[in-house]
Structure 1
Amino acid sequence: MEGSENPSNQLLKNKYDLHKSKGVEAAALGHQRRTGERVPQDPLSKIENFLSLWHERLTPGEDNPKARRNLDRIKGVLYNRYIIKPNEIPEGYFENQRRLAREQGHGDIEIDPRMRAQLSEVIIADQTSSLDKWIDYLASPDAPYPDALKYWTIRSILNMGEYDKERHMYPQRSKGTTKPFPDLNREALAYVIDAVDKKYQEQKHPDGEFAKLLQTENFGKLYAWAIEKVTPASEEELSAANGKWIKYDQDSDPMPLVESLQGHGTGWCTAGESTARAHLQGGDFYV
Structure 2
Amino acid sequence: MERLPGWLRQHLAALRAVAVLTVLLGLIYPLVTTGVAQALFNDHANGSIIHQDGKAVGSSLIGQSFTDADGDPVAGYFQSRPSAAGDGYDPTATSAGNLGPEDVVDVRPVPGAADEGRQSLLTRVCARSKAVGELEGVSGARPYCTPDGVGAVLKVFPDRAVSVNQACPATPFTATYQGLKVECARPGEDYAAGRTVPVRGDAATPAVPADAVTAGGSGLDPHISVAYAELQAPRVARERGLALDRVRALIAAHTTGRTLGFMGEPAVDVLELNLALDRG
TM-score (norm 2): 0.23
Identify which of structures 1 and 2 has the higher relative contact order when contacts are C-alpha pairs closer than 8 Å and 6+ apart: 2
Q: Normalized per residue, which structure has more strand?
A: 2
TM-score (norm 1): 0.23
Q: Normalized per residue, which structure has more helix?
A: 1
Structure with greater Cα Rg: 2
